[in-house]
Chains A and B, each alone.
Chain A
Amino acid sequence: MNRTFTFHTGILLVALCAFAFQAHAQAPDLEKRLAEGTKITEEDVRLYYLHKVLNVAQTDFLAAYKTAAVYKEAGEKIGAFRGYGMPKEHLAYMEAAASDLLANATFRLGKEPFDQEDVFYDLFDVMRCQNLRAGAAAKILFQAEMGKENPAAKAVVDAIRASRASKK
C-alpha cells in the first residue's frame, strides 16, 4: 500500500514539476543563434514563437513584427512545422493593432490641435510593417501627403533620414 502510494505520488510530483518547468521555459535567443550558426531545434522555434512573437504581438505589434521575421527565418532554415505549416496567429493580432493605429492617425490627420508630425510618426510606424495590409495602406497615405508637400510629412522624413545618417 505504502509503496503504491509513494509510486503514484512520485509520478504526480514529476508531472507537476515538468508542467511548471514548461510554463516557465525561457525563449531562446534565436537571433544570436542564427548569427552564430549554432543548432536550432523545432522546440526552440516553438518557444520563441510563444514568448517573443505571440505574447509580444498582444501588446506591441511593432516589436512583434521584428521578432516574427526572426521566427520565420529560423523556422524556414530548419524546416520546422513541416506538414502543417508554421503558426500564423500573430499576423491577425498585428494586423488588427496596426489597422487601429492607422485609423487613428487618419482621424487625426489635418485636425488642428493634434501634432501633425506625431501623426506621421504613427503612419511611419505602421508603414514599417510592409507585409501587413495596414502597412501598404499607410505607405499610400504617406506618399499622397508627400505628393501634396505636407510640411509635417516632410519634416518626419527628414528627421528619420538624419537619424539614420547619424547611426551610419
Chain B
Amino acid sequence: MKKYISIFLMLLCPVIGWTQDTDDELPPGLLEERPRGPKKDRAASFEAVNFIQQNGNFVKANQLGVKSNVEFGRVHNLELAVIVANRFQRAQRDLEDKNRNQVEAMAELILLADCTWFPEAKKLQPKLVDVKQHESYGKALELSRKLKEIYLADKLDE
C-alpha cells in the first residue's frame, strides 16, 4: 500500500509544481524590475582578447577586461589560457635571468601583478613582495609607469 502512495505522490508533486509555475499570476512588470548585475560589455572583452593575441599587450587587455565587467573565464579558450599562463610564468623567470635587464623585469612584474582581470595575477603576489624589497624597486616602479602609458596608448590599427 505504502508503495502505491509513494508512486502516487511522486507523480503528483511535479504536476502541482507545474500548475503553480506560471508567470501570468505575477504582478505586471515584476520580471522587468528584478535587480540585475552591472551591464556587461562583451565587445570590450573581445577587444581585450585581441590586444593579447595581436600585440601581447596585457595591460591594455586588463583595462578593457575590467571595464567590460565580463569575467576572464567567460571569454578565454584553451589557447588563450595557455598564452596567459606562459606570460605570467615567464615574468617570474625573467627576474632570475642574468641576461635580462633586472629593472625592466621588475617593472614588467609590477605591471602584470596589477592586471587583476587575469586570475594568474594573484600568483605573482609572492614575487612582488620580493621585488618591493629590492634596492632598485624605486627605478622599477618609475619605469613601470612609463611602460604602462605606452601600453595603454596602444591601438590595434597601428
**Chain A: residues with CB nearer than 8 A to chain B?**
57-61, 92-93, 96-97, 99-101, 103-107, 111, 113-115, 117-118, 121, 159
Query: Chain B: residues with CB nearer than 8 A to chain A?
Result: 52-57, 78-83, 85-87, 89-90, 93, 99-101, 104-105, 143, 146-147, 150, 154
B154 — which chain A residues lie within 8 A by C-beta? 107
A92-B79, A96-B83, A107-B154 given as contacts; is B100 within 8 A of A101 (CB)? no
Contact A121 B83 (CB under 8 A): no
Alpha-carbon distance between A105 and B108 when the two chains are bound, in angstroms: 13
List 22 A-B residue pairs with CB atoms under 8 Å apart, sorted by A's residue number.
Answer: A57-B82, A59-B86, A60-B86, A61-B86, A92-B79, A96-B80, A96-B82, A97-B82, A100-B52, A100-B56, A103-B53, A104-B87, A105-B56, A106-B55, A107-B55, A107-B154, A113-B147, A115-B100, A118-B100, A118-B104, A118-B105, A159-B99
Report the nearest A residue to B105, measured CB to CB: A118
Contact of B101 among A58, A103, A104, A118 (CB under 8 A): A118
Other-chain residue from B86, B99, B147 in contact with A100 (beta carbon distance below 8 A): B86
A111 to B104, CA, bound (A): 13
Return the contact of A113 from the options B78, B82, B105, B143 (Cβ within 8 A): B143
Is A97 in contact with B104, judged by CB distance below 8 angstroms? no
Q: Which residues of A contact B146 (CB under 8 A)?
A: 113
Most buried by B among A57, A93, A99, A100: A100
What is the distance, in angstroms, from A30's C-beta to the closest C-beta of chain B?
A: 23
Q: Is the beta-carbon distance between A58 and B56 smaller than 8 angstroms?
A: no
Residues of chain A lying within 8 A (CB to CB) of residue B81: 58
Residue contact B55 to A103, C-beta cutoff 8 Å: yes
A142 to B86, CA, bound (A): 22
Contact B57 A107 (CB under 8 A): yes
Nearest opposing residue in chain A for B80, CB measure: A96
A111 to B143, CA, bound (A): 13
